Structure 1
């Protein structure tokens, strides 16, 4: 696939997202290629995140000391998640963390959809998520470039990236499982995200050390 074909596929992903999803699923790509694409986008994304963090650290900014409660909360968070924070401190560890998060999103996309009568398969889910991550990586590259050259445009591009993720994820999920209502799919994605966030929050508080008064 040459550059022109990739650009056409990008255009079709926004113009006719569900038709694009069906075309991708008909390709029947093996799981190994889908996982390779997911791994590559995770590595590129982690490198961009590390570069953006380095640039942000070098930018001057005013500092406001945290309150005592804020400092205690930050210390508790760092103590509870120190192994994870240490892992994410390196680009390779961050890439692994991003890849794990993407695979978990694939699992939710597949299993929750099947729970509501969807017909999508696991290989098809991987293919669609791989292409979605390619698009997100390209948008992040544009966002990073604009942050360095034209910062005033970086925020609108960041908002467009967020919109693109939910827009494409909703349409790809609808095409994957044969759902007719994209609006209901979007609502299901938001509801699933809230449920997972609440579950993670509960697990976080359960891991906090008990303070005896």
Structure 2
């Protein structure tokens, strides 16, 4: 696959998620290739986050910031979050009658992350050239991540109702956020809140 093909696949993903999911499945990636894609996405995202952190150091220096300052830790957290997301998409989707599996969910989560890495790179350039526009790019990336997650989850499981998938997504986000908050509190890495 060439760079131009990747660009076409991004456009196809945005315009026709069902067809994009079929095409990604047709690639026939092996198990190791799927995991390598997740590692690549996590590594690139963490690399760009590390560069942004060096260029624009955070104002606070709490425990969470210290953890995120280490590129390897950040990459590991990104990797874990992607695997957890793929598992949540699979389990919640199948609980509502979906047909998707974890292997395909893993590829889709990695693909969404790679698209967002492209936006992250653009945002980094904008932070240098036109700082105010970087915030707009952050909002675009956030909205796009939600759109892609809902659209690709719908296509993965063969669902027909976008509103129902959106509700499932919102419920899943709250569930995962609750679990992660409990873990973070147990490990003592939540930022301190002033009274």
CA RMSD of aligned residues (A): 2.2
State the match for 1:177 in structure 2.
157
Q: 2:91 aligns with which of 81, 86, 111?
A: 111
TM-score for the superposition, normalised by structure 1: 0.80
Distance change (3 Å), C-alpha of 1:89 and 1:176: same
Q: Displacement, 1:158? A: 1.0
Structure 1 distance, partners of 2:76, 2:12, is 30
Match of 2:80, SS? helix
State the match for 2:42 in structure 1.
42
Computing the radius of gyration from Cα coordinates, the structure with the larger value is 1
- The alignment covers a number of residue pairs equal to 187
Structure 2 distance, partners of 1:143, 1:4, is 21
TM-score for the superposition, normalised by structure 2: 0.86
Distance change (3 Å), C-alpha of 1:153 and 1:127: same
Q: Displacement, 1:197? A: 2.0
Q: Residue 170 of structure 1 contacts residue 189 of structure 1 at CA under 8 Å; is this kept in 2?
A: yes
Q: Displacement, 1:207? A: 6.2
State the match for 2:57 in structure 1.
57
Structure 2 distance, partners of 1:110, 1:191, is 14
Matched, 1:24 2:10: no
Q: Displacement, 1:91? A: 0.7
Matched, 1:129 2:109: yes
The runs of 5 or more residues in structure 2 that have no matched partner are: 189-195
Q: Residue 38 of structure 2 contacts residue 107 of structure 2 at CA under 8 Å; is this kept in 1?
A: no
